[in-house]
A and B are shown apart, each in its own frame.
Chain A
Amino acid sequence: MTTLTPITIAERPDLTIRARGSRLDAAFRGLALAAGLVVLAVLALIAYSTVDAALPALRAAGLEFVTSDRWAPNAPDGPHLGSLAFVYGTAVVSSIALVLAVPVSVGIALFATEIAPRRLRRWITTAVDLLAAIPSVVYGLWGIAVLAPNITGVYGWMHRTFGDLPVVGALFGPASSGRSFMTAGIVLAIMIVPIITSITREVLVTVPRGEKEAALALGATRWEMIRGAVLPHSFGGTVGATMLGLGRAMGETIAVALVIGSRPQIVANLFATGDAMPAVIVNQFGESSGTFRSALIALGVFLFVLTIVVNFMGRVIVNRVQVRFRGAA
């Protein structure tokens, strides 16, 4: 071992000199902050420009925009801009999608976390990721070319079987073409399964292991353990996941535009053609002008606000549930 000599320092070393690169520190921080603020700027610009472009229509239509279901922008007696039919369509299609997607998603999440053998779990993730990766326009293309033409038979059968029931029978009216609320709902359901599944999986994973093991140690079967220990804990998180899925469904434009049929009407029959907010925008924007175009933008703003609210609530619920359990774990 070589002998080391002691280090000697002069008295009062100068520690105030700015080391190399400290000006870079400030510049770097400024650059990074600016990049972050771009988000703020863009969002503000989106809000401002779209609202500004929507105002002419809102001024012309007034309250009618949200109270009337008559949409006739080019009527001879002045534009009628009632958005209710589109709001209804968005609501119906999203509801169908949720009713179909949530049980399936929860099932997949449960399957992946509780039942599937370890090696299968990666493949489940892969399958769900692939579902998510397929572009929405491809789903729309498949929907209009394959699903819509071939499903009218099923709709017909359901109409004949359930159409005469009191109250719910109105939902199962006659099916004219395959393009309908129901078809759009089915396609949407496929598209929102991945997001609901992945969030539900995250929530299921936070269930305290001790509780699951306690249930099993008491002699519960796996299903009883799931029902007693897992599901109650994950209920809140699943609600949050559902809301996030709803937000996604409401904003989904292209697939819905292709298979919903583009006929704005408020009817109970799920097999009837209809229209939805984002769908009408994308379908009619090209030929629109003036107040009509402004009205479509107003619809876009309306949709924007609704999805923000839904997404926000969903995120709040999910965060609250996760904080509650991360803290306890």
Chain B
Amino acid sequence: MALVDPPVREPLDLTRARLSTRRRLADRAATAVISLAFVVALVPLVAVVGYVVTRGSGIMSWEFLTSDIPRQYRVDGGGMYPAIVGTLLTTGLAALMAIPLGVLGAIYLNELGRQNRTARAIRFLADVMTGVPSIVMGLFVYTIWVLRFERQSAFAGALALACLMLPIVIRSTEEMLRLVPDELRQGSLALGSHRWRTITSVVLPTALSGIISGAMLAIARAAGETAPLVFTVGLVYSPSWSLSDSSTALSAQIFRNASQPFAGAQDRAFGAALTLIVLVFAFTALSRFVASRLAIKS
């Protein structure tokens, strides 16, 4: 067979210059646009947090954190102590109600019911419940609790927040439980342990850091919520630690003061916003810390 001489080729050039200009430019432009998206997202983050920090620290002081709320919007000065108390009270109580229920519910879904009809129904409805607008939660608690007892209270606010937190805790806990390898359950059951002991001695400890982390995120979310509280928690100007009396919260106070034209009200709103952001970010950071550091390394 006659051999054909190989075609003469130019020396090999693998640099990008060989790409057609059009393709090269398209690649560069697309990369730039996509990267720009990230910058565009950073702008509001910096703008909002930056402004709140600057304006809020103007009024921030120990007096601000410990003084009562002025009864009139146009007054300058005063503080947000009652709101801080209210936020801690309602969020704390909501957590106490929603987290145990949510963890137990998730245990049923992932460990006991698994794919049976009841479990699938609960899972689906929990998903639906995460989509309920927070204002509807507020209207709901208003209708069945505030109207029934004819008064607004910290407990009613906590109830609304708990309804908001419950499906979030169920879903995040279920995900953490799902991550526990099945071999661990089998190992425990093969040793002759009952389901409940397998769950409490092996599954829960293994998933614990993830569960706590998810619960903290739910708490951070609840602390920032306004709509569920607006109709249920009432209004006070001095701190109230009683569950059955009216209260207020940082979020509700920000909402009330935001639309007021007075400088004093606006300052207090930003002070409260700064306090709230610090609280929420602290919990978010703590949640990530728990998830990464305390997780069981395998």
Contact = CB atoms under 8 A, between A and B. Distances in A.
A binds B: yes
30 contacts: A28-B199, A32-B107, A35-B102, A35-B105, A39-B105, A40-B125, A43-B125, A45-B140, A46-B163, A49-B143, A50-B136, A50-B139, A103-B37, A104-B41, A127-B42, A127-B45, A130-B284, A131-B41, A135-B276, A138-B224, A144-B258, A145-B258, A193-B41, A221-B24, A221-B26, A223-B29, A251-B131, A253-B135, A285-B231, A307-B132
Interface in B241-283: 251, 254-255, 258-259, 266, 269-270, 273, 276-277, 280-281
B41 A137 contact: no
What are the 7 closest A-B residue pairs judged by CB atoms, nearest first?
A107-B37, A135-B224, A251-B133, A35-B104, A32-B108, A223-B30, A311-B131
Given A134-B224, A223-B26, 16 more contacts: A29-B196, A37-B122, A53-B139, A107-B36, A111-B38, A115-B34, A129-B284, A135-B225, A135-B277, A136-B224, A138-B254, A145-B258, A222-B31, A224-B26, A278-B227, A297-B143
Given A39-B170, A145-B266, A253 B227 contact: yes
A139 B48 contact: yes
B59 interface: no
Contacts of A311: 127-128, 131
A312 interface: yes
B41 A36 contact: no
Contact of A247 (B131, B166, B196): B131
Nearest to B198: A25
A69 B36 CA distance: 41
B112 A29 contact: yes
Contacts of B65: none
A137 B126 CA distance: 25
A281 B251 contact: no
Contact of B258 (A141, A282, A301): A141
A304 B226 contact: no
The contact size tier of chain B is 35 or more
A43 B48 contact: no
Contacts of B258: 137, 140-141, 144-145, 258
Interface of B: 19, 23-24, 26-27, 29-31, 33-38, 40-42, 44-45, 47-49, 51-52, 100-102, 104-105, 107-109, 111-113, 118-119, 121-122, 125-129, 131-137, 139-140, 143-144, 163, 166-167, 170, 192, 194-197, 199, 220-221, 223-227, 230-231, 251, 254-255, 258-259, 266, 269-270, 273, 276-277, 280-281, 284
A216 to B, nearest CB: 12
A42 B31 contact: no
Contacts of B224: 133-138
A158 interface: no
B48 A142 contact: yes
B38 A124 contact: yes
Contact of A136 (B100, B192, B226): B226
A220 B163 CA distance: 51
A258 B255 contact: yes
Contacts of B30: 222-223, 226-227
Interface of A: 19, 21-22, 24-25, 28-29, 31-33, 35-40, 42-43, 45-46, 49-50, 52-53, 103-108, 110-112, 114-116, 124, 127-131, 133-142, 144-146, 190, 193, 197, 221-224, 226-227, 247, 250-254, 257-258, 278, 281-282, 285-286, 297, 300-301, 303-304, 307-308, 311-312, 315
A144 B194 CA distance: 58
A250 B266 CA distance: 27
A38 B105 contact: yes
Nearest to B257: A141
